Structure formats: structure tokens, C-alpha cells
Amino acid sequence: GENVEQHPSTLSVQEGDSAVIKCTYSDSASNYFPWYKQELGKRPQLIIDIRSNVGEKKDQRIAVTLNKTAKHFSLHITETQPEDSAVYFCAASYTNAGKSTFGDGTTLTVKP
């Protein structure tokens, strides 16, 4: 089955700096890669996703890049703000997989 590894497990940056979180996946059939943000005590919520037919997607300060050959994808957050502090989860799935496989999460702390 699919295996998703996420690094780093914790990340601390200064406000205004950039943050990068990386995930690798094992199943070459995977074609959908979402990122979820979970604030403390809240539910996970989708922030951005990418499909295997594109290499990069941006939405304001966040972007995701995908390298299908190397089987890894990354979340990039620029100009970080304290409200970006949260746990971020990556995931991978494919059509008819029935489910997604999640990474173990990255706790991002943005220091004012």
C-alpha cells in the first residue's frame, strides 16, 4: 500500500520568513496530493491541493510543487505570519483507492 513520509516533524521560523514542508510517497499510481492545516483544537481543513498533471500550484502565500519522478511534493509558505502556526498534513491518493494516506504532520511555529 501507499506510504507517505513527511519532514520535518517540527519547524520554527521567524515571522516573515519562508517555510517548506516536504512529503515523499511510494505508490506511483498516486495522482492527488492535498495539504491540510489543523489549528489547535480544530478540525483539519484543506488549504491547497495538486494533481499529477501539473508541477506547481499557487494560492497567494502558499504553493505546492510536485516531482513525480522523485515521488515527492512540498508545501511552501512565504511571508509567514503568526496565524500560520498550526499542524500541516500532507496526503496522497489515487482514483479508486478508496482512501487517502496521510503523513504524520508538521507542527509549524511562527515566532513574532
Residues in contact with another protein by CB under 8 A are 31-32, 34, 36, 42-46, 49, 51, 89, 91, 93-100, 102-105
Q: How far is the CB of 16 from another protein (least distance, A)?
A: 27
Cell of 10: 517540527
Q: 98 or 112: whose CB is closer to another protein?
A: 98
Q: 79 or 104: whose CB is closer to another protein?
A: 104
Q: Is the peptide bond before 34 cis (omega within 30 degrees of 0)?
A: no
Q: How far is the CB of 8 from another protein (least distance, A)?
A: 14
Q: How far is the CB of 28 from another protein (least distance, A)?
A: 15
Q: 78 or 107: whose CB is closer to another protein?
A: 107
